[in-house]
Structure 1
Amino acid sequence: MPDGDDVTIPPAPPAGLPTRAVPFVPAPRVPHPWDSLPPGFPSPVLPEPRRALGKGLLFGGSLALIVALFLGAGAVYVANRDPLDSRAEAAAEDRPKLPLTPFEQVNAALKTQAEALLRGDEKAWLAAVDPGRRKLRDRYRAMYRSLRLLGVSHFDYRTYVRDVRPDKSGSLKIGADVAYCLAGDTCVKEKSTVSDGPPSVALELTVKHGKGGWLITSLAPRKPTADKYRAPWASGELVTTAGKRVTLIGAPSEKKYFRRLLPIAEHAAVVNDRFAALVGNPQQRYRIYVAGAKQWKSWYGGIRDKWIVAYAFPRNEAGTDVVLNMAELKDDREFLATTVQHELGHVVTVGNLHRRTWVESDMWLKEGIAEYIGWYPRPATASWRRPAVRNLVNGSGRPKSIAVDPLKAQARLRDGDAFYGFGHFSADCMAKKYGQRALFTFVRLHLREDRDLDSASGEAFGKPFAAVDKACVAYIRDRA
């Protein structure tokens, strides 16, 4: 399942280089992997000695200089210029330029395609795809239209060589991480120690040289981790509808739910705007994907667990997407409303973050605050999870702390029900005893700013976490 947050099915409600020029002496010509290219392909001459190219050679980002040198591009950084520099540059201009390697040609073609997408040129976008492969072109056409529909604002191929030599047909396999941003995203375009960079889709492309240059002949998710990053826009045609605060997106088959869902989602957005302000994470818009049976099993890796009906998928600092399984939600308006409000609660409380800022042990608070938001303004005692919480706190293994261990991957439905409900009661307790603003200050400090429980509790509640914990365990036992 995706690395996201989910809602479960409820029970039935109870009732540096030298600066001076050095003479260049060419070395003897030796064979190179690109010499095996079919007739007519440019074959670059590289300075010797050379290092062999291996599989998985990264291209782009911080290693661009290394790859440029590997492929003969000749990038140089000059720290301190002196009068000899201009003479060295003039001499360099007189030397013949090396032709682009096939790999550099492929990257140039992909860059041209990406630029076509961003300026809205569908014809130029499709020009990079083999015209003899109709289904592939249809797929790229759907991809183009979906991305334009979602307001694509950044699209960048970050490629590396999968196979050094072309196969007998002259085809090459190339790995490509497609970094992208959509309308409303917080678009951090580069990865760093404090950022995961833009969201990306992991692909494997096969390209072949033709009359028009290098063309894409196949496209597939890259194994084994690609399934986790199979974004909806890369998986088929999409349709949308927009309200004041929410954009609904789905396959054409799910458009039938939009009219009913939009007012529910708009109400949930208004509720969540209040809490987004309290944690300092205001949202430009909320994006909700409506999945049919096929999409539910493929988007962001797909869901196989039968008891999960919705989830929030983090896309680095860009934001968080909500995905709904409408087949399971369509028949119960209250269930649909609380689910949408819960998932948007994840968007505002833990969305737009560098994902290493929270750990699995925070699950009790992440889900508890989302349940609090999902049911707001009704209290935890109104939740259909209350019976499961009652059984939990009255059983032999009753919790001694509100900071309970995270739910296990193979947990039973009733375990999940008790976990979510207990988290809801915990959030309710902190709001009732110390105030709602204090609760969300605690959430901001612990989940968004990495403060430990004691530090966050002291600032938010004026008490150490142990005191808050003890008081809330007793509160839950009294009210469940």
Structure 2
Amino acid sequence: MTHGESEGGTTRPARAWWWLWASLLMVVLLVACTLPAAVVLMMDTGRDGETSTGAAAPTEDPTENPTTVAARQLAERIGELLNRQSAALLAGDRAGFLAIAESDTARTELRRRYDSLQALRVTRWSARPSGLPTGAGTPGEWRMPVSIDYCLVLRGCQPTSIVIDTRWRDGPEPRLLEIEKSKPSPSVLGPHSEQPGSMPWEVSELTSVVGQRTIVATVREHRELLPILLLRAEAAARVADRYAVDGTPPDRYRIFYAGEKEWRTWYGGAQSYWGDGLAIGIGGGHHEVVLGPESLYYGDYFDQLLRHELTHAATLPDGYWEDPAWWLVDGLAEHAAADGEPVARYPVLAQTRRLVRGDWNGKLDDLYPIEGMSDDEVNGRYGIAYLAVRYFADRFGEEKLLAFFKAAVHDRRPAAQIAEEILGAPWSELQAECATQIRAAVR
């Protein structure tokens, strides 16, 4: 069995997106210079009934393009409907939530989303048009991206934002014809993040249970597993809380137990072939944990997997990209997964020994596993990362280890720049000593 992975929305290097952001910026600037701003009504409603609306639309410009005027007015009407739908969701009014739909397809899709969001204890939901509608190819039909901010369990959380595509029929009160699932996009979570796409509540009918530190959800076929999943998730959360880099652990760890179908579809189905679980960034400072099919039946390894992935959720910032600090990110997660067990009981020590005795060059910054590697090599790389973090924890203590982690992963500073500042010795010296200790540990 292989170990879980961390996921920030994509494994593609951040530099691959610089040209896309430049293009998006040019488009935004061109639109801003040639069109009047689109003003839509916005609402942010909570369980307590609070409501705030955006500024009223300005007086129409008589020189404005008539097509732009019509599109803006349609966006405003759709915005009013979305406001009412948001209020219905938070009030537990399913009929009101479904009222905007005209087609059976849209109504079925909304019903599943409503039921799943209620199961996930949605506490904040603000939906609004994103930009102006465009023609859908049929007279009277329009496509409109919709931006959604939402919270689960706690009303005061930092919301997650996603954008989904919708299709509407125009009229005094527009009606929803189609709502799509969210797609991976770099336009929502910032220049180093991606909207992951296909959130579990968009894809599946969910059921859940909420604990002191976690919310655990799965599909109805596996609902009988929820009590034991919650018990073990709460235990893992108590370990992961200790590694919150800034001293503030997640408000709730969000854990989704997947069947075979869900593993292939949730978050776009982009899970790595070697992973039994992953923590994926969704924005708002949240990472959701997905556990692979039948992982609950892996014995003690399941608890290690939970501690590993929840530690990712406790330690990773928004927009984390796989980079030379991978050894530190997954090494810390493995360190938490071991939870004080002696090195001799590390489950993939044999694979680690083979890799260390083989062609490992003693460097830590090029350990990130890539597609095509054997399970043994992947496990060996996780093992080296674990032994490296254990060396730093034993030598410097976990407080300094977490300070080093924050500087390297959150502030994205190279190890060579921060080692002497935080740990009091040059990185070249520390890395060499670490390699020596790793080789000694696997003799």
Question: TM-score under structure 1 normalisation?
Answer: 0.72
Report the counterpart of residue 87 of structure 2 in structure 1: 115
Q: Is the 8 A contact 1:139 1:236 kept in 2?
A: no
Which of 140, 148, 158 is equivalent to 2:110? 140
Q: Which protein has the larger Cα radius of gyration, Structure 1 or Structure 2?
A: 1
The alignment status of 1:217 with 2:177, answered yes or no, reads yes
Q: Cα offset for 1:306?
A: 4.3
Which residues of 2 match residues 234-273 of structure 1 at below 5 A?
A: 234-273=202-241
Q: Is the 8 A contact 1:310 1:339 kept in 2?
A: yes
Amino acid of the residue matched to residue 467 of structure 1?
Answer: E
Q: Is the 8 A contact 2:285 2:318 kept in 1?
A: no
Amino acid of the residue matched to residue 372 of structure 1?
Answer: H
Q: Is the 8 A contact 1:181 1:318 kept in 2?
A: no
Which residues of 2 match residues 25-40 of structure 1 at below 5 A?
A: none
Amino acid of the residue matched to residue 323 of structure 1?
Answer: V
The alignment status of 1:336 with 2:329, answered yes or no, reads no
Report the counterpart of residue 169 of structure 2 in structure 1: 208
Extract structure 1 runs of 4+ deviating beyond 4 A: 61-68, 70-73, 184-189, 222-227, 303-306
Paired residue secondary structure (2:135)? coil
Identity across the alignment (%): 24
Unaligned 5+ residue runs, structure 2? Answer: 10-23, 41-58, 63-68, 186-193
Q: Is the 8 A contact 2:184 2:268 kept in 1?
A: no
Distance 1:335 1:326 in 2: 14
Distance 1:234 1:340 in 2: 24
Q: Cα offset for 1:359?
A: 4.9
Distance 2:151 2:127 in 1: 10
Q: Is the 8 A contact 1:117 1:125 kept in 2?
A: yes
Q: Cα offset for 1:401?
A: 1.9
Amino acid of the residue matched to residue 319 of structure 1?
Answer: H
Which of 397, 402, 412 is equivalent to 1:435? 397
Which residues of 2 match residues 380-395 of structure 1 at below 5 A?
A: 380-395=343-358
Q: 1:417 to 1:102 in 2, by over 3 A?
A: same
Distance 1:289 1:345 in 2: 15
Amino acid of the residue matched to residue 7 of structure 2?
Answer: G
Q: Cα offset for 1:184?
A: 4.2
Distance 1:347 1:154 in 2: 22
Q: Is the 8 A contact 1:175 1:204 kept in 2?
A: yes
Q: Is the 8 A contact 2:367 2:381 kept in 1?
A: no
Report the counterpart of residue 325 of structure 2 in structure 1: 362
Q: 1:166 to 1:401 in 2, by over 3 A?
A: closer
Which of 241, 244, 250 is equivalent to 1:283? 250
The alignment status of 1:106 with 2:74, answered yes or no, reads no
Q: Cα offset for 1:428?
A: 1.0
Residue range with higher mean Cα deviation, 215-224 or 281-290 = 215-224
Q: 1:235 to 1:2 in 2, by over 3 A?
A: farther
Q: Is the 8 A contact 1:199 1:318 kept in 2?
A: no
Q: Deviations over 1:362-409 (max 9, x none)?
A: 2111111111111111133321211111111211x2222233342223
Report the counterpart of residue 16 of structure 1 in structure 2: none
Q: Cα offset for 1:122?
A: 2.6
Q: Cα offset for 1:295?
A: 1.3
Distance 2:418 2:351 in 1: 29
Distance 2:30 2:83 in 1: 18
Amino acid of the residue matched to residue 128 of structure 2?
Answer: Y
Number of paired residues?
Answer: 390
Unaligned 5+ residue runs, structure 1? Answer: 7-56, 74-91, 190-197
Which of 308, 315, 318 is equivalent to 1:349? 315
Report the counterpart of residue 313 of structure 1 in structure 2: 280
Q: Cα offset for 1:107?
A: 3.1
The alignment status of 1:376 with 2:335, answered yes or no, reads no
Distance 1:365 1:334 in 2: 24
The alignment status of 1:164 with 2:130, answered yes or no, reads no
Distance 1:262 1:162 in 2: 43
Amino acid of the residue matched to residue 337 of structure 1?
Answer: D
Report the counterpart of residue 4 of structure 1 in structure 2: 7
Q: Deviations over 1:237-289 (max 9, x none)?
A: 2111122221111111121211222221111111112222x642322221111
Distance 1:149 1:427 in 2: 38
Q: Deviations over 1:413-471 (max 9, x none)?
A: 12211110110010111112222322222212222233331343224322122221111
Distance 2:78 2:35 in 1: 14
Distance 2:428 2:149 in 1: 44
Q: Deviations over 1:9-40 (max 9, x none)?
A: xxxxxxxxxxxxxxxxxxxxxxxxxxxxxxxx
Amino acid of the residue matched to residue 215 of structure 2?
Answer: T
Report the counterpart of residue 414 of structure 1 in structure 2: 376
Amino acid of the residue matched to residue 349 of structure 1?
Answer: T
Paired residue secondary structure (2:180)? strand
Distance 1:337 1:118 in 2: 34
Paired residue secondary structure (1:269)? helix
Report the counterpart of residue 126 of structure 1 in structure 2: 98
Q: 1:419 to 1:391 in 2, by over 3 A?
A: same
Distance 1:70 1:442 in 2: 45
Q: Is the 8 A contact 1:380 1:421 kept in 2?
A: no
Q: 1:165 to 1:218 in 2, by over 3 A?
A: closer
Report the counterpart of residue 26 of structure 1 in structure 2: none
Distance 1:224 1:403 in 2: 28
RMSD: 3.5
Q: Cα offset for 1:313?
A: 0.7
Amino acid of the residue matched to residue 412 of structure 2?
Answer: D
Question: TM-score under structure 2 normalisation?
Answer: 0.77
Amino acid of the residue matched to residue 331 of structure 1?
Answer: Y
Distance 1:162 1:361 in 2: 42
Q: Cα offset for 1:63?
A: 10
Report the counterpart of residue 408 of structure 2 in structure 1: 446
Distance 1:273 1:227 in 2: 26
Paired residue secondary structure (2:170)? strand
Q: Cα offset for 1:182?
A: 2.5
